[in-house]
Structure 1
Amino acid sequence: MLEVDLAHRYGAEGFALDVAFTAPADGVTALFGPSGSGKSSVLAAIAGLLRPDRGRVVLGGAAMLDTQRGVALAPEARRCGVVFQDARLFPHMSVATNLRFGLRRAPAGAMGPGFEEVVALLGIEALLARRPAKLSGGERQRVALGRALLSRPRMLLMDEPLAALDAARRAEVLPFIARLRDAARIPILYVTHALDEVDALADRMVLMEDGRVRAADTVEAIAARTDLPLAARRDAGVLLPCQVAAHDGARGLTRLDFAGGALLVPMRGDAVGTALRLRLRARDVAVALSRPEGVSMQNILPATLASISETGAPHEVFLRLAVGPSVLLARVTRDSVARLGLAPGMEIWALVKSVTFDRTELGR
């Protein structure tokens, strides 16, 4: 487990950082929040690039930093692999030499994937002889990931590694980061303000705002909370763990099972049994008092209205819907609540269009 407790102020009247959270021994913990919330400062303090006014960073029971006890390991002794927005490759070296530089930094006897395994993992065999100037942005980031992993780190720190890439390049690199996550089996702290990256990669989220932690929990748990800043986003909604159950080629549909029900989505290429996680946006869920007939919506689910909460918008509310043990959110107008006489405890129907799903493969 990674334990982090940091406090720092930049100047007498400057930005103040005061955060504490834990992260599991492997998997991705996303530090998420708007620009200026302190995410990169947290990574810098963990890596040893920033000496905080007060702090404690402990990985697997061993202290990297403990200002109270006078412990402050040098950056190289902390064995943190760091990947920045810009790949920071050595321009005069080939891809292969850049990767082997990571290997040279690995402590003697440290365990981890070998050179060939990392090259295959990141799909960069064809790039080994090239110089960084001859690579695309996505290719450079894949090489930077490989170099960091080959240094055999105890932890990976990624500071918005995809922020400088366009949408196509980001989509190209995300699956490789997921592969790296599964192969490394070490803690990964991933700084981002892109929710789709969190959905695709993260197991847990530390939600930051103004130098503080607003919430720290699983990504699914935080997505379902309506009392956090995420709820104000137009893409607010739940993350629903699902499994590919069946394909219907004649209808062009795939059935996804989840705890409490099933959903039909446009045909996917995933094998039956593949684990997926869907972002089901609250604005794409409607409700009805009785099961509608003769409508185009494929997904009509019996639900219990668990609660009604504020959205921050004057004329809208969130409905929290229990579908078996799973939770959905619906964003509706106050007028709809009044017209339908909605109240907690009512048995209603949740209506979801099959084309509204944002699809994220867990890769596990």
Structure 2
Amino acid sequence: MHDRSKADTARIDISLAGRLGQFALDVVFDLPASGVTALFGPSGSGKTSVLRAIAGLTRLTGRVVVGSETWQDARTFRPPHRREIGYVFQEASLFAHLTVANNLVYGARRSVGGLDEGRFAEIVGLLGLRPLLDRSPTTLSGGERQRVALGRAILSRPRLLLMDEPLAALDRMAKDEILPYFEALHDRLRIPILYISHDISEVERLADRIVVLEAGRVRASGPLNMALTDAGLGFVRDPHAASVLPARVVAFDAADALTELDLGGQRVFVDGCGPDD
């Protein structure tokens, strides 16, 4: 799928500061034009406040620049409905009086250009939503509701997709069911995604880059594989920590169920993978 969500070739620059009650926030970081950046940190570090400020829901001082467009600076403040942002919350905010299909159509019709039936069918297939289209959101599981919420956000053709711990309310089994759909979107979408999580195993599966927050400030920012091996950040002491190694699939041996990978010029064979994994 070639996503036409108007992603810019330039980066997204974020510089925000202010006080929220007794909490002081002062962050500076940037995002690439595509891929998943994890916003990671303990509870109370300011992750959700950053997302709300980027969306224009909380007004702080600073700059939000998306490609060639300035959404916020000293003279400009674009309101939330004009920021072309998709926002997926911890709890799926679906319309209970509409079917799943009509919830998705609502998102598509709010996009520039309106409903594109081909793209609608593509997103429905990618997220495995076809069997759910005629159902009410009230009959869905937590994981199914989050897939619908994600589909609706994507169909609005956002310039930037914000995801605020979308799996936090799900149990481990439900998370394991939905993560492959999120991974598929990561591989297919060409829009930047800022993804909040405090679960490092979740971040390892989904993210390309990471921004680590601590007490309202950026402690580290960069490629995920570099952050995971930085002893100063403490990930290496996490019992769930792992290394992320970029590799290219070279071949798949169906007889022995082995996938051959090119890892920096070295050949590595891993089991349990299929040609589409």
Normalising by structure 1, what TM-score?
Answer: 0.68
Q: Identify the residue that residue 292 of structure 1 maps to in structure 2.
A: none
Shift of 1:269: 3.1
Structure 2 CA distance for partners of 1:237 and 1:200, relative to 1, 3 Å = closer
Shift of 1:237: 4.3
Q: Identify the residue that residue 12 of structure 2 maps to in structure 1.
A: 2
Letter of the 2:69 counterpart:
A
Tell which has more relative contact order, 1 or 2 (C-alpha 8 A, sep 6+). 2
1:270 corresponds to which of 262, 268, 274: 274
Query: Which whole-Å deviations, capped at 9, do the CAs of 1:292-349 have from their partners, x for residues lacking one?
Result: xxxxxxxxxxxxxxxxxxxxxxxxxxxxxxxxxxxxxxxxxxxxxxxxxxxxxxxxxx
1:46 corresponds to which of 15, 38, 54: 54
CA distance, structure 2, for counterparts of residue 182 and residue 246 of structure 1: 19
Segments of 4+ moved more than 4 angstroms? 109-113, 243-250, 252-257, 260-265
Query: Which whole-Å deviations, capped at 9, do the CAs of 1:10-54 have from their partners, x for residues lacking one?
Result: 22xx111111001001111110111111111110000011001x2
1:188 maps onto 2:193 in alignment: yes
1:19 maps onto 2:27 in alignment: yes
Shift of 1:110: 9.6
Q: Identify the residue that residue 220 of structure 2 maps to in structure 1.
A: 215
Q: Which has the higher helix share?
A: 2
Query: Which whole-Å deviations, capped at 9, do the CAs of 1:71-121 have from their partners, x for residues lacking one?
Result: 111101001000001011011110011011102211247999721111111
Map 1:49-198 → 2, pairs under 5 A: 49-52=57-60, 54-66=61-73, 68=74, 70-108=75-113, 114-198=119-203
Identity percentage of aligned residues? 51
Preserved CA contact (<8 Å) 1:29 1:204: yes
Aligned length: 266
Structure 2: where are the runs of 5+ without partners?
1-10
Map 1:287-298 → 2, pairs under 5 A: none
Q: Identify the residue that residue 199 of structure 1 maps to in structure 2.
A: 204
Structure 2 CA distance for partners of 1:8 and 1:178, relative to 1, 3 Å = same
Query: Which whole-Å deviations, capped at 9, do the CAs of 1:233-291 have from their partners, x for residues lacking one?
Result: 223343222345665967x86665523645565x31323xx7xxxxxxxxxxxxxxxxx
Q: What is the aligned-residue RMSD (CA, Å)?
A: 2.3
Q: Secondary structure at the match of 2:227?
A: helix
Structure 2 CA distance for partners of 1:125 and 1:112, relative to 1, 3 Å = closer
Shift of 1:199: 1.4
Preserved CA contact (<8 Å) 2:103 2:152: yes
Q: Secondary structure at the match of 1:143?
A: helix
1:241 maps onto 2:246 in alignment: yes
CA distance, structure 2, for counterparts of residue 23 and residue 149 of structure 1: 18
Preserved CA contact (<8 Å) 1:246 1:256: no
CA distance, structure 2, for counterparts of residue 28 and residue 254 of structure 1: 25
Preserved CA contact (<8 Å) 2:108 2:157: yes
Structure 2 CA distance for partners of 1:253 and 1:188, relative to 1, 3 Å = closer
Structure 2 CA distance for partners of 1:46 and 1:261, relative to 1, 3 Å = same
Query: Which whole-Å deviations, capped at 9, do the CAs of 1:154-199 have from their partners, x for residues lacking one?
Result: 1100000111111121122112122223333111100111112211
Structure 2 CA distance for partners of 1:81 and 1:113, relative to 1, 3 Å = farther
Preserved CA contact (<8 Å) 2:37 2:193: yes
Structure 2 CA distance for partners of 1:269 and 1:45, relative to 1, 3 Å = same
Letter of the 2:133 counterpart:
L
CA distance, structure 1, for counterparts of residue 157 and residue 259 of structure 2: 40
Shift of 1:138: 0.8
Structure 1: where are the runs of 5+ without partners?
275-360
CA distance, structure 1, for counterparts of residue 218 and residue 116 of structure 2: 33
Preserved CA contact (<8 Å) 2:45 2:213: yes
CA distance, structure 2, for counterparts of residue 223 and residue 33 of structure 1: 13
Normalising by structure 2, what TM-score?
Answer: 0.88
CA distance, structure 2, for counterparts of residue 95 and residue 129 of structure 1: 6
